[in-house]
Chains A and B, each alone.
Chain A
Amino acid sequence: MLMHRYANPTRFIRIADTIFPWAGGIMVAAFVIGLYLALLTSPADYQQSEMVRIMYIHVPAAWMALFTYAFMALSSAAVLIWKHPLALLSAKAAAPIGASFTVICLATGSLWGKPMWGTWWVWDARLTSVLILLFLYLGYIALINAFDESERGGKAASLLALVGAINLPIIKYSVDWWNTLHQPASVFRLDGPAIHSDMLWPLIVMAIAFKMFLLTTLLTRVKSELTAVRVRNIQRSLNGNLV
């Protein structure tokens, strides 16, 4: 099966090492260009003036918070269905990255809300469901680290990740289903983006930068987890020899 071919740890590390410099290079280039566009050349908004510049980090962070969770949930499904060890390591490696995106999304949203809405926080459906997303990430991290033998903790955490995926459509459609203070979607709409290309481009470039950040950090962390497994195996065999 194709999936299992890539799931071989040695092969994975070889592929990861090939991808890594490219992903890192694209990430740096996209951040440089994206920040230049976002902070210097993009226009001020007609309603929000300069404040709109927060969008160029808030929105990519929000997209990536959801994307990373979807990745974690799919990996967790592979853990539960096929007991796939590399899938578990991938989900475990992704969780802190997704949690970081969610923190950035919430913090920048709060900094945006204060001058525009007059409040740091409001319990509307969008904000509350994203806060729940953060708790799901933190719950997953806590569960997976709670057991010495990773199999039991892995199963419980994978189940949490999978059940928590119900929150993703709730976050996406919260602005349509409920009357929220948060504005509805401007980019991913059936009738096309309702945002001028002068703002859409910096947003797209920053989104690429965030995606490459996920890729480079994820590869680094999965490689770490794989190395840790080999370390544990050798430690176990050395201890066995001593007895």
Chain B
Amino acid sequence: MSEIEAYLGMGGYGPFIWAAYFLSTFILVGLLAQSRRVLKKQEALLLRLKAIQRGDRND
């Protein structure tokens, strides 16, 4: 067995350990990405509405 295989196997506990690390990464990265996406969407919407509001005043 190669060194890398032995490392990934984690003494037979590999599936449990890697599942825990991957799941946690997935949740944290997903939450941060979703939070960023919502912020960008709200900011874009705010800019659009501000432009409309300025247009209103000019009428």
* Chain A contacts to B: CB under 8 angstroms: 39, 44, 49-51, 53-54, 57-58, 61, 96-97, 100, 103-104, 107-108, 111-112, 114-115, 213, 216-217, 220-221, 223-224, 227-228, 230-231, 234-235, 237-238, 241
B27 touches A103 (CB 8 A): yes
Say whether B53 faces chain A, with CB atoms less than 8 Å apart.
Answer: yes
For A221, the chain B residues whose CB sits under 8 A away are 35, 38-39
| Contact yes or no, A235 B49, CB < 8 A | yes
Contacts of B19 in A (CB 8 A): 111
Q: Which residue of B lies closest to A225 (CB)?
A: B42
Closest chain B CB from A175 CB (angstroms):
21
**A51 and B23 within 8 A (CB):** no
Q: Is there contact, CB below 8 Å, between A54 and B20? A: yes
| B39 interface neighbour in A54, A97, A224, Cβ under 8 Å | A224
Contacts of A231 in B (CB 8 A): 42, 45-46, 49
Asked if B32 contacts A223 (CB within 8 A), the reply is no
Q: A108-B23, A231-B42 are in contact. Are A217 and B49 (CB under 8 A)?
A: no
A234 to B45 CA separation, bound complex (whole angstroms)? 10
In whole angstroms, how far apart are the Cα atoms of A61 and B36 in the complex? Answer: 21
Name the prevailing secondary structure of the A interface residues: helix
* Contact, CB under 8 Å: A238 / B27: no
* Minimum Cβ distance to chain A for residue B30 (Å): 8
Identify which of A51, A220, A227 contacts B13 (C-beta below 8 A).
Answer: A51
Interface residues in B4-45 (C-beta closer than 8 Å to A): 10-11, 13, 16-17, 19-21, 23-24, 27-28, 31-32, 35-36, 38-39, 42-43, 45
Choose from A51, A96, A104, A213 the contact partner of B17 (Cβ within 8 Å): A51
Say whether A227 contacts B16, CB under 8 Å. no
How far in angstroms is the closest Cβ of chain B from A67? 15
B56 touching A241, Cβ below 8 Å: yes
Q: Which interface residue of B20, B27, B39, B42 has the most chain A CB atoms within 10 A?
A: B20
Known: A50-B13, A230-B46, A235-B49. A57 touches B31 (CB 8 A): no
- C-alpha gap A173/B3 in the complex (Å): 42
B20 A237 Cβ-Cβ under 8 A: no
The answer to whether B53 touches A238 (Cβ under 8 A) is: yes
Q: Which residue of B lies closest to A61 (CB)?
A: B24
* Distance between A128 CB and nearest chain B CB, rounded to angstroms: 21
Residues in chain B near residue A237, CB distance under 8 A: 53
A and B contact pairs by CB, cutoff 8 A, 13 listed: A50-B11, A57-B21, A111-B16, A114-B16, A213-B32, A220-B35, A221-B35, A224-B35, A227-B43, A227-B46, A231-B42, A234-B46, A238-B52
